[in-house]
Chain A
Amino acid sequence: MLFVTIVKSALKSLWSNKLRSFLAMLGIIIGVGAVIAMLAIGTGTQQDVLSRIQTMGTNRLSVRPGQGHTPGGVRGDDVQTLTVEDAEALLAIQGVNTVAPMAQGSAQLKYQNNNSRSRVVGTAVTYLSSNNFQVEHGRFFTDSEADRNARVVVLGSEAAGTLELTRFDIGKPVKINGLNFEFIGMLKAKGGDSFFSADDMAIVPYTTAMNILFGMDYLSGIEIQAKDSNKMKQVEEAIAAELRKRHKITNPDEDDFEVRNQADIIETMSGVTKTFTYLLGGIAAISLLVGGIGIMNIMLVTVTERTREIGIRKAIGARDRDILQQFLLESLIMSALGGLIGMAAGIGAAVAIGRFSQDFNPVVTAQSVLLAIGFSAGVGIFFGFYPAWRAAQLNPIECLYYE
């Protein structure tokens, strides 16, 4: 039998049972729609997270004190292994663009009657550019101010807001842990960064932080900006090698520092969000599966109802595979059509969610659409096969005299 003839007769028989065909398709429509919408939400979240991380710069490395490898290893501020000399030595490494020694802690900020407990970052001038910060008002401190423990502070937009400081207050004294600092500048808000608020902090020269504010002779970390974001691995290894040499460590397992790469963080985060995407997609795929079972159910009923027709067709020469094709095609058409309508519904839902929700920016990808359509066609074939096979195996005589 010609393929067009089978398609025509399949469409005809689906059309003659419009409501039933539509209800069978509905499961697939909902399933495909759900898969596409859920994957869009997952992918959108994934891209959001990555772009947030990327605003922090992809060519950054940071060195933290403590044993990063060993689970439960000692970490944090009380590990006093990194020194200003270490930071200076790293600048000589090939591929390193800037190095910013970090001496940070939490401190009480006060301006007039306004208080704020904020992170105070003691660092060098290079920190500004290596972290993609921009000064919105006033200025950043200078190298010479850093050299002479100058009591100057640059505030993040959020910290400034809490203290009710505006650009007109530049030059006024702000108290940090009770000591007077000159408010010299304000950073442009970075926003969008929910992991730790980059805007709620105060930046002072690292010398000031070490010698005046926190009284520490070690660093809480070193921030490095590499020249080429494609050579992060090499730079990372060179830094580790240099620090081992300086700390007289031969066995990497005994490192008293840890070098972390921005790419590692991105990798971890995208791993998490990918899992999230798969989870959403998987839950939606279950509804697609249920849709397939709905089709199988309807097809089994159809085959029973049309037993007589099957007998007649066999009597006039239909082979088993002609009957198989006929019924398989009916379920395939239902699931393919359901898939297309579901695709439209899913994309529509994703767009609507993007428009009406602040939390999600769904992104519909071609892969997710192909995946959902392919899956629904697969569901059609898989769940349509058994009823069609049953129809094909029926005995013509039993069918012909079936009432």
Chain B
Amino acid sequence: MLIQTRDLVKVYQMGAAQVRALDGVSITISQGEMVSVIGASGSGKTTLMNLLGCLDQPDSGSYVLAGEDVSRMNRDQLAHVRNKRIGFVFQSFNLLPRISARENVELPLQYAGRKDTHRAAAAALEAVGLADRMHHEPAQLSGGQRQRVAVARALVNDPDILLADEPTGNLDSRTGEEILALFEDLNRQGRTIIIVTHDAGVAARCARAIRMKDGRVIDGPAKG
């Protein structure tokens, strides 16, 4: 089991009111799966992804990633897990402006303390079909190309999981389709992929959907 969570709870304080963004989420995801997390806006998808991606810690519950209990880790250890085991793809790309595509892809390698960052970053960009755009800055790239750079950056440290939050949300349907095809490709090569989406069409491309409502999983059995 690559991912196993038990009763994850995350509560946000909004003034006097408490919002239970996650209200006891228990899921398991195996190595090599391509899973969607689907639900209405505000159902807790992003909150779940933040916890799965070790960007945040649950208020209660446990999360075991590749055999390690990450819900007990300190900030430095979490940073290490994010660097080595997790690759993020965001709706809004989240590339650093004013540096080239290759320099963006080099960052996770640099935080990993690697030295041969040029070559590895170039290879990752080549793998997403952007060998000829390496020296372009994000502003000089189309939305689809930016998301490809983000995917290259997510993959460059060879992570266990690719976590994508609404990866096609800012793209037109044709480029969105290209990105989904890229994900399917990566999944066929054995990469575990979790796509957060509110788009049923996107969810349909995944082997399994985890449905969320009001911070809970409503039905999660494998479909098809």
User: Which residues of chain A (301-346) have a CB below 8 Å from chain B?
Assistant: 308-309, 311-322
Does chain B have a CB within 8 A of A366? no
Complex contact B98–A319 (CB within 8 A): no
Work out how many contacts link A and B, with CB atoms closer than 8 A.
Answer: 65
Which among B50, B96, B110, B153 is the interface contact of A309 at CB below 8 angstroms? B96
Which among B56, B94, B115 is the interface contact of A397 at CB below 8 angstroms? B56
Complex contact B99–A314 (CB within 8 A): no
List B contacts of A9 (CB < 8 A).
Answer: 99
List A contacts of B50 (CB < 8 A).
Answer: 397
Does chain A have a CB within 8 A of B55? yes
Most chain A Cβ neighbours within 10 Å, of B79, B82, B96, B113: B79
Complex contact B111–A316 (CB within 8 A): yes
List A contacts of B82 (CB < 8 A).
Answer: 314-317
CB-CB nearest in chain B for A323: B79
CA distance A33 to B172 in the complex (A): 58
Complex contact B98–A315 (CB within 8 A): no
Complex contact A317–B94 (CB within 8 A): no
0/1 per residue, B83-122, Cβ < 8 Å to A? Answer: 1100010100011101100000001101111010000000
List B contacts of A318 (CB < 8 A).
Answer: 79, 111
Complex contact B99–A316 (CB within 8 A): no
Complex contact A396–B94 (CB within 8 A): no
Does chain B have a CB within 8 A of A263? no
Most chain B Cβ neighbours within 10 Å, of A1, A309, A316: A316
Complex contact B83–A317 (CB within 8 A): yes
CA distance A331 to B107 in the complex (A): 22
Chain A interface (Cβ < 8 Å from any Cβ of B)? 1-2, 5, 9, 12, 16, 308-309, 311-322, 395-397, 400
Q: List 15 A-B contacts (CB under 8 A).
A: A1-B110, A2-B113, A2-B115, A12-B98, A312-B96, A315-B55, A315-B82, A316-B153, A317-B111, A317-B112, A320-B75, A320-B79, A322-B111, A396-B55, A397-B55
Chain B interface (Cβ < 8 Å from any Cβ of A)? 50, 53, 55-56, 75-76, 79-80, 82-84, 88, 90, 94-96, 98-99, 107-108, 110-113, 115, 153, 157
